Amino acid sequence: MAFSLDNLLVIGISSRALFDLEAEDAIFQSQGLDAFRQHQLENENTILKPGAGYALVKALLKLNALIPGHRMVEVVVMSRNSSETSLRIFNSIQHYGLDITRAALTGGAPLAPYLNAFNVSLFLSLHEDDVQAAINSGVASAMLYPMPPNAADMEQIRIAFDGDAVLFSDESERIYQQQGVEAFESHERENAKKTLPDGPFARLLRALSYLQNHFKAPDGRAFPLRTALVTARASPAHERVIRTLRAWDIAIDETFFMGGVNKSAVLSAFKPHMFFDDQHGHCLKASDVVPTGRVPIKQTPEQKN
């Protein structure tokens, strides 16, 4: 019988996001494919160091041990490498004891067309074109920033999200950017009882919420996952967020309405395995203290061209 990915939380992650391959990428960029290929073949037994997405993947895979015989998470390595140069990746996966058995190796071709084939719920990469293409195709995706020094390795899985253009659409964010804070607050006050449209990570949040609410450890422990919303919104724009989450029947564990205050201190206290935001400036500051991924804005067909 074929194995189905339909009812699993599937994480697609590029090899550069899972492991530190920056030196190898530099060889590829400066010396070309042949030099990269030779380097990988000569070093295929040299174990790679963890990359920017390693901590989140490792934490999520622990969910498969929560209920014996019940698998919740599948991780697929998605790489532009060929199978010939990928053995080092699999050797490193085995070295760290990661429960990863599936891969898509495209030999230089874009990865985004294969996301739906693997039913990917979240795609993590350091390749901006692949991340943008994934967002355009409706898959939650983020481009990861370098790991901060001394990143916390919490036993409990922790994920933090920005609001507008991440969990919610960028509709309100566009008003703020184009017309200013007064127009934004007026718009949100007038639409306080109107649910915010879904953003690119809404489906992922629903999946995480479902896991939290429907699975418990056999020994009665709570589900080992905690979520946070860290948004620049403040009163009066907070009401629409609260009503939207209520309409979605989702209770985020911790919510912070920052009102424009730097998010880094709150994120440092929450210690997420990953924080998702849409703005480079916010991501740059956050990446100094926690693992961070930037969520690009979905492009229209006109913007793509």
pLDDT digit string (tens) for 262-292?
999 999 999 999 999 999 999 999 999 999 9
Do 104 and 242 share a domain, yes or no? no
Instruction: Please state the pTM of the whole predicted model.
Output: 0.92
Q: What is the pLDDT of residue 218?
A: 65
Residue 152 lies in a domain: no
Looking at the structure, tell me whether residues 136 and 164 fall in a common domain: no
Domain boundary among 84, 117, 143: 143
Does the residue 110 lie in any domain? yes
**100 phi, psi to nearest 5 deg:** -125, 120
Quick one: 293 and 207 in the same domain? yes
The C-alpha atoms of residue 211 and residue 215 are separated, in whole angstroms, by: 6
pLDDT of residue 301 exceeding 80, the answer is no
Exposed/middle/buried for residue 249 (C-beta within 10 Å: 0-12, 13-18, 19+): exposed
Considering the domain architecture, whether residues 66 and 201 belong to the same structural domain is answered as no
Given this model, what pLDDT does residue 305 score? 52
Same domain, 119 and 183: no
Same domain, 173 and 291: yes
Burial string for 188-208 (b: 16+ CB within 10 Å, else e) reads beebeeeebeebbbbebbebb
Domain, as residue range, for 273? 157-304
Whether 130 and 179 share a structural domain? no
Domain presence at residue 3: no
- Please indicate, yes or no, whether residues 58 and 88 belong to a single structural domain of this protein: yes
Last residue of a domain, one of 115, 143, 171: 143
pLDDT for res 270? 96
Q: Which residue has the higher pLDDT, 136 or 65?
A: 136
Distance CA 187, CA 191 (A): 6
Q: Render pLDDT for 208-256 as a digit per residue (tens, 0 to 9).
A: 999 888 777 666 677 889 999 999 998 888 999 999 999 999 999 999 9
Q: Are residues 61 and 186 in the same domain?
A: no
In a domain, 221, yes or no: yes
Task: Tokens for 55, please give them.
Answer: 């901590």
Does residue 77 lie within any of the structural domains?
yes
Residue 68 near residue 42 (C-beta atoms within 8 A): no
Tell me whether residue 149 is in a domain: no
Q: What is the mean pLDDT of the chain?
A: 90
Q: Tell me, yes or no, whether 162 and 132 share the same domain.
A: no
Known catalytic residue: 162?
yes
Residue closest to 253 by CA, chosen among 270, 274, 269, 234: 270
Q: How many domains would you assign to the chain?
A: 2
- Residue 277 maps to a domain: yes
103 and 13 fall within a common domain: yes
Instruction: Write the DSSP symbol of residue 277.
Output: E
CATH code of the domain containing 62: 3.40.50.1000
Residues 164 and 264 in one domain: yes
* Catalytic entry in 130, 162, 164, 277: 162
Given a contact cutoff of 8 angstroms between Cβ atoms, the answer to whether 214 and 145 are in contact is no
